[in-house]
Amino acid sequence: MKDKFHLKDWTVRFSIEDVVNGDPDAWGHCKVIYGRKIANVTLAEELVRQDEQTIKQVIAHELIHIHLNAILESTRELLGPLSADMHNSINRIMHLEIERATDTLSFVIADLFREKDLQNNDVIKVDKITIYD
């Protein structure tokens, strides 16, 4: 699936944890090192108990974050000279709007991916979950 997201030249690592990034309600989290083209995607153990479409949507959501991470990094650079209050307000708005866009796009993309569209080498088994690489 990495290739389908134009991340062929990236190292994308998946892991599964009981709690993702300290948030018991989160199903996924993505930590991006943009300059090195590395992304570590953590998925919640709870996700294993969800339907396949939800799993695809969450994985798509995290892979979209890899592309959009540069927007957040650029915004942080631009906010440097602003006051702490202004910095926090703009940062919250950016995170909210990127999350909204990512959610919408991930549902659309997950619907576009059907099992028959994925090649055998796209599938990775990790514990009880199937990850589409």
The pLDDT score that the predictor gives to residue 48 is 86
The number of residues in the chain equals 133
Q: How is residue 12 annotated by DSSP?
A: E
The pLDDT score that the predictor gives to residue 115 is 57
Structural domain spans, the chain: 3-132
Q: How is residue 45 annotated by DSSP?
A: G
The pLDDT score that the predictor gives to residue 96 is 94
Over residues 74-122, the pLDDT tens digits come to 888 888 888 889 888 998 999 999 999 999 999 999 988 765 455 544 5
Mean per-residue pLDDT for 1-12? 89
Distance CA 38, CA 115 (A): 26
Distance CA 127, CA 105 (A): 27
Distance CA 119, CA 88 (A): 44
Distance CA 72, CA 8 (A): 22
Over residues 39-75, the pLDDT tens digits come to 999 999 999 899 989 999 999 999 999 999 989 888 8
